[in-house]
């Protein structure tokens, strides 16, 4: 079944998709800038830093015959670069490692708070929750930014060098995917803002009063 994208020329489709992605990035950045403008600047900088590094290293490798005209790696240096790229694109492994770190550090504390509070009334609030969450979140954003920047650089270099499978349509697809990864990196950062907004709930508010009541009961024998 043909879609509207199948009926339109691919440069127009790629341009429309790029504008949609950039529009999403604009909206996310707009929500982050009031309190996290440094994060926004750093993600943009790191994204293009990785893109430029990918292009420069790629050009160097072409000149020393580590990468051939088809974009294939050769020799020991090529093997190292190939493994490095695979490592940078191992987003699934990064997510699993981050989730494992959160589970290891916060899981026992949360379970201890819940059961010791309900059964014994001597719960202790989990420590370093915000710090661990922020560290893991920034690590995720870094991974997506790195992968996106490298993908952008390799897509541009592959198209400019005429690598196999990197004609205009294929290169545009790679670059669009890199921008999508950038959008996801910014979106991940919004979770920090959400958690901070929860932490900043005024004690006098209904939610703050409810939390104080629950925590007071959970720690009723701890004092």
Rounded distance between C-alpha atoms, residue 90 and residue 143, angstroms: 9
Of 78-82, 143-147, 168-172, 185-189, the range with the lowest mean pLDDT is 78-82
Phi, psi (degrees; rounded to nearest 5) at 73: -85, 145
The 10s digit of each residue's pLDDT in 71-119 is 777 777 767 777 777 777 677 777 788 788 878 888 888 888 888 878 8
Concatenate the DSSP letters of all residues of 159-218 into one string.
Answer: HHHT-TT-SHHHHHHHHHHHHHHHHHHHHHHHHHHHHHHHHT--TTSHHHHHHHHHHHHH
Q: Is the pTM higher than 0.75?
A: yes
3-state secondary structure of 145: helix
DSSP H helices in 89-128:
91-115
The 10s digit of each residue's pLDDT in 15-36 is 889 999 999 999 999 988 888 8
């Amino acid at each position: 079944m043909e879609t509207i994208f199948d009926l339109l020329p691919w440069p127009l489709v790629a341009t429309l998709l790029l504008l949609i992605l950039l529009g999403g990035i604009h909206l996310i950045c707009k929500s982050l800038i009031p309190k996290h403008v440094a994060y926004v600047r750093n993600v943009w900088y790191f994204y293009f830093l990785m893109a430029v590094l990918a292009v420069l290293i790629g050009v160097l490798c072409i000149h020393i015959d580590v990468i051939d005209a088809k974009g294939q790696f050769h020799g020991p240096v090529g093997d190292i670069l190939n493994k490095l790229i695979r490592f940078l694109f191992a987003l699934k492994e990064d997510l699993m490692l981050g989730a494992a770190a959160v589970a290891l550090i916060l899981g026992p504390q949360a379970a201890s708070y819940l059961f010791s509070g309900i059964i014994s009334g001597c719960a202790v609030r989990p420590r370093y929750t915000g710090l661990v969450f922020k560290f893991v979140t920034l690590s995720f954003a870094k991974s997506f930014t790195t992968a996106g920047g490298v993908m952008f650089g390799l897509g541009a270099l592959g198209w400019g060098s005429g690598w196999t499978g990197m004609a205009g349509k294929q290169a545009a697809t790679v670059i669009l995917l890199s921008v999508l990864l950038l959008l996801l990196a910014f979106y991940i950062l919004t979770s920090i803002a959400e958690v901070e907004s929860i932490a900043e709930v005024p004690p006098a508010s209904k939610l703050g009063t409810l939390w104080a009541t629950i925590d007071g009961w959970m720690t009723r024998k701890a004092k």
